[in-house]
Amino acid sequence: MSSLVVQGVVLGILTGGVYALMASGLTLIFGVLEIINVAQGILVILGAYMAFVLQQTYHVDLFVGLLITIPLMFGMGVFLEWAFIRRIKGDRITLSILVTYAIALIIEGILGYFFTTNYQVLHAWYIDATIPVDGFYINVIYIFVFLLSVVLLGILYFLVYRTPFGRRLRASMQNRTAASLIGINVSRVQAITFGIGVALAGAGGVAYGATNAFNPASSYDLIYRLLVIIVLAGMGSLGGSLIASLALVIIGDVVALVWSPVWSSTVFFVLLILLLLLRPQGLFGRVEGRKQ
């Protein structure tokens, strides 16, 4: 039984990184633009399809393909922000849910049109290979994907906390008006941040596609889990989304192995409810002060 737990934990850590990657994009976007990008799920799937195309048609390795996918997704993100997100007027947060949902539908439609709704898988020599560890087998792909997550999250951390751009980003996150008053071009920061968020989704897509069969409709399950993660984390906290992703995936995997896969998703949601009962602002969210 304990070996199952260990297995669950290890698996959780390896795959939790993927969720952390995807969730960090959502968190960043919420923090800087104050919108909930419901399209994040389908953007992940888009990344998976991009890797699929690169691999099938051009025989580019999945991870090498990232060099193409990431910039492309970044560009698309900037475009989406400029073309649509920026134009949202009125109740921004709620409208953003619907607008990004509309965008998600369009992307889902486009993917469905070109690739049909059949499930696809990404192929590579390392996907089916396994390494025996301590009595059970770990798919090599999980390790690769974990390393990818670590590298990308590391780059993100560096970008956000150690560069001038990151400073401008964090300033915009804390107080948009003040930031623009001290000369920060907030619109630019927002566009770039959205681009980064989408790029992260795309990268997450490669990781996701390598470890799951996917079709356009897979985005739904994904986005719900991501939303739960960021609410658990306390919306707007990057560190929180990392911890929440790991915690949820690990617990989910342990439950799946020890009890039954059927209940692992439920546990996800039940834990969220319990946590919000005790701590309504999430793990790392700030308690909303009274608006003056």
Partner 1 sequence: MKRVKILVLLALLLIAIVFPVLISPTTAVNDMAVYTMIYAMGVTGWNIFSGYTGYISIGHAVYFGIGAYTMALTCQAWNVPGGYLPFLLLPLAGLVACAFAVPLGFLALRVRRYAFSVTTIALMFIFQLLGYNLRGITNGSLGLYLPQPSWSSGVYDLPFYYVGLALLLLAIGVSWRVRHSKYGLGLLAIRDDEDRAFGLGVKTAAYKLSAYVISAFFVGMTGALFVYFLGTIFPQFVFDPIVDVNLTTMAFLGGLGTISGPILGALIVTPLQQWLLLQFGGSSLNLILFGSFLLVILLLLPQGIVPSVQERWASWRAHRLELARVKSLNGTKNQPALVEKREGR
- Residues in the site for partner 1, rule: CB under 8 A? 36, 84, 87-91, 93-95, 97-99, 101-106, 108-113, 116-117, 216, 220, 224, 227-228, 230-231, 235, 262-263, 265-266, 269-270, 272-273, 276-277, 280-282, 285, 288, 290-291
Closest distance to partner 1 from the beta carbon of 254 (Å): 17
Give the shortest CB-222-to-partner 1 separation in angstroms. 12
Q: Cα separations (Å) of 178 from 173, 186, 265, 276, 292?
A: 10, 10, 41, 31, 17
Report, in Å, the least distance between residue 99 CB and partner 1: 5
Nearer to partner 1, 11 or 231 (CB): 231
Strands annotated E in 41-154 = 130-133, 136-139
Give the integer Cα–Cα distance in Å for 146 and 198.
Answer: 19
Beta carbon nearer to partner 1, 75 or 109: 109
Give min distance, CB of 277 to partner 1, in A.
7
**Closest to 161 (Cα-Cα) out of 285, 50, 24, 41:** 24
**Which of 35/179 has CB closer to partner 1?**
35
Contact 26, 97 (CB under 8 A): no
The distance of closest approach from Cβ of residue 136 to partner 1 in the complex, given in angstroms and rounded to an integer, is 26
End-to-end CA distance of the chain: 54
What phi and psi, each to the nearest 5 degrees, are found at residue 137?
A: -105, 135
Nearer to partner 1, 101 or 136 (CB): 101
Closer of 81 and 146 to partner 1 (Cβ): 81
CA 260 to CA 151: how far, in whole Å? 32
The Cα–Cα gap between 39 and 16 comes to 20
Whose Cβ is closer to partner 1: residue 5's or residue 110's?
A: 110
Minimal distance in Å, beta carbon 40 to partner 1?
A: 13
> Strand pairing partners for 137?
132
